[in-house]
Chains A and B, each alone.
Chain A
């Protein structure tokens, strides 16, 4: 039981606690909050991945249509050109958009390592408030000494709850 889950009433309380805990050299911190927290963490890479997937989908689809209508199955419709590139744009756009959406969705599950139906932190009774109005920080330490140090420090920060859990 070397890990601790501490809850706070407000975002400000949590942010203050995070600073103090980091100053004390406790690094393995996870926050569980009912809304986004600005932590100065670097931005997400997902938009870039979605953009790349969208572009790739657009190009691949365009090339496939060109191959189909120009090389594999050219069809003369009133003498119109086989390589009618403007007519290929709508489907290429749609397929590109679909690729970007799928990349964003699957990418999200990948970078967040979801689905993860069980986590030791679920054992804490107070944890249910994390999706309502409680702002939580979990300190996952390897040794009892650091856990004791964290608990002493947490007691000075007016948490609403502190619970120990095994992780």
Chain B
């Protein structure tokens, strides 16, 4: 076990990120890139840092399983929810995770459609983030059902009770959006992986690895036919994923907007939630690529250009979120509904005021440092700001879910909410599960999309050659 990068993964651009970095080091060839990415997946012994990260994450995952087991035994009374705040950690963490997953899809699908070159090398990391974020989100709706064994009542199916689900309810839309999103994410991710599994299969020396990666590659060999259909299918899938990701987070927003609760009943919610998805997505992807590019020695594939672009996008999404917060305050006081005003005053000045101002600080004010180009390339600053934004997004969901519910229309129904140990253990457990998934993906999957990188390297080389020619 060696903490330094091995020979096969040594980066040739080992220096601090700069804003004029190319999107990929021109010295990289398709052969050296393929060898280095495959070597990470095929490495016999894991890196020391990998074990140091993996063991605590695995521990948290076990904590999640224990929390779920106790929840199924004892029921949702172990959580802090009660009237009037009957939506607590389960919903707010669900929304938070869905936002993180959606951010990954936006990078991988939306920027595929725009043809952004910087997307190529971070696409696989963003897709892994989408997959494990969606998995972490996906367990919450089942957990928060009082009787989770009846979750299948939400499907269309003929039954002896002659009952049907209520299709006019946004909560049912949400169920279908989540089902579609999780399955579609898996298909999109796996189709993009096929050629890269083939590359790893062909580099593998050990028969066991040859078989495992061979089965995963499903016999992809790079024939004309396979490439032709892959590009066509992948392109259309990206074009479907882009509206699906916008729809899922809008529908999550409609879950709230559909209720007559003060602070929720607003047509602003769908776009507001999508802005939040952008902010948390860019934050998490930056938090992942900054350590990974160094630990895996891929600084010549994920360069200063990537950091610069992603920080600019983070700043943009922070401005969008700030606009939504401003409008939230404006429509409340412009609208003139007494209950809405009372709720908002409580939100800003009452019992949960720290949550509200924490949200504003972390999501609106701190990201403004990215107006400075120097700070957009300063990795410790980026990591701190992104961590704050991720926490800020969670606080925003807390503020939306809890403070709205604790001041309903009837003053006699006012109350407060506090999370219990099991709320926190489930949340930490999902964080552990997400990170465990990411670590496994980093260790055993081709973590950079090699087939797309080959095209990028070829076009970059052609462009540089054209520039040199008079």
A 92-129 to B, binary, CB cutoff 8 A, 1 in contact else 0: 01110110111011011101101111110100000111
Report how many A-B pairs have Cβ atoms within 8 Å.
188
User: B221 in the interface, Cβ–Cβ < 8 Å?
Assistant: yes
Residues B155-188 near A (CB distance < 8 A): 156, 162-168, 170, 172-173, 176-177, 179-180, 183-184, 187-188
Within 8 Å of chain B (Cβ to Cβ): is A44? Answer: yes
User: Do most interface residues of chain A lie in helix, strand or loop, or is the interface mixed?
Assistant: helix
Alpha-carbon distance A41/B454, docked complex (angstroms): 21
- Cα A37 to Cα B224 with chains together (Å): 7
Asked whether, in the complex, the Cβ of A90 is within 8 Å of the Cβ of B224, the reply is: no
Given contacts A35-B455, A98-B184, contact A108 B227 (CB under 8 A): no
Interface size of B by CB at 8 A reads: 63
A150-B368 Cα distance, complex, nearest whole Å = 65
| B25 neighbours in A (Cβ, 8 Å) | none
| In contact, A46 and B236 (Cβ under 8 angstroms) | yes
Contact of A101 with B240 at beta-carbon distance under 8 Å, contacts A44-B229, A121-B221, A131-B198 already known: yes
> Which residues of B are found within 8 Å of A87, using beta-carbon distances?
167-168
Q: Which residues of B contact A130 (CB under 8 A)?
A: 202, 221-222
| B interface footprint on A46-83 (CB within 8 Å = 1, 0 otherwise) | 11001100100000000011001100110101001000
B166: A residues at CB distance < 8 A = 69, 75
| B31 close to chain A: CB less than 8 A | yes
Residues on B with C-beta less than 8 A from A132 are: 30-31, 34-35, 199, 202-203
Complex Cα distance A41/B199, Å? 25
Q: How large is the interface on A (under 10, 10 to 19, 20 to 34, 35 or more residues)?
A: 35 or more
Q: Are B188 and A101 in contact (CB under 8 A)?
A: yes
- Name the interface residues of B222-247: CB closer than 8 Å to any CB of A: 222-233, 235-237, 240, 243-244, 247
Measured CB to CB, the closest approach of chain B to A33, in angstroms, equals 5
Looking at the assembled complex, report how far the CB atom of B189 sits from the nearest CB atom of chain A, in whole angstroms. Answer: 11
Q: How far is the CB of A138 from chain B (nearest CB, A)?
A: 9
The answer to the question of A156 belonging to the interface, with a C-beta cut-off of 8 Å to chain B, is: no
* B148 interface hit (Cβ, 8 Å): no
Whether the Cβ atoms of B177 and A36 lie closer than 8 Å is no
Residues of A within 8 A of B214 (CB): 117
Do residues B203 and A97 form an inter-chain contact, with CB atoms below 8 A?
A: no
A44-B229, A77-B168 given; A94·B247 CB < 8 A: yes
A31 in the interface (beta carbon within 8 A)? yes
Other-chain contact of A114, B220, B235, B247 (Cβ < 8 Å): B220
Cβ distance B410 to chain A, nearest Cβ, rounded Å: 20
A30 CB–B CB distance under 8 Å = yes
- Does B293 sit at the interface, judged by CB under 8 A? no
Contact A41 B228, beta carbon cutoff 8 Å: yes
Bound complex: CA of A83 vs CA of B162, how far in Å? 19
> B435-467: which have CB < 8 Å to A?
451, 454-455, 458
In whole angstroms, how far apart are the Cα atoms of A133 and B237 in the complex? 27
What A residues does B180 contact at CB under 8 A?
94-95, 97-98, 101
A166 close to chain B: CB less than 8 A: no
Q: Is A84 close to B, CB under 8 A?
A: yes
Instruction: Find the residue from A41, A98, A127 having the highest chain B CB count within 10 A.
Output: A98
Is B251 engaged at the interface, CB distance under 8 Å to the other chain? yes
- Bound Cα distance from A50 to B148, whole angstroms: 34
Please give, as numbers and ranges, the residues of chain A lying within 8 Å of B226 by CB-CB distance: 112, 114
**Shortest Cβ distance from residue A100 to the other chain B in the assembled complex, whole angstroms:** 6
Q: Does A88 contact B (CB under 8 A)?
A: yes
B176 touches A105 (CB 8 A): no
How far, in whole Å, are A100 and B241 apart by their CA atoms in the complex?
Answer: 11
Given contacts A46-B229, A68-B156, 11 further A-B contacts (CB under 8 A): A31-B222, A34-B30, A46-B232, A46-B233, A47-B233, A73-B163, A75-B166, A90-B176, A95-B176, A98-B179, A133-B34
Ranked 5 nearest A-B pairs via Cβ: A44-B232, A116-B219, A115-B218, A68-B164, A133-B31
7 pairs of residues in contact across A and B, judged by CB atoms under 8 Å: A34-B30, A41-B224, A69-B166, A75-B166, A105-B190, A109-B218, A117-B219
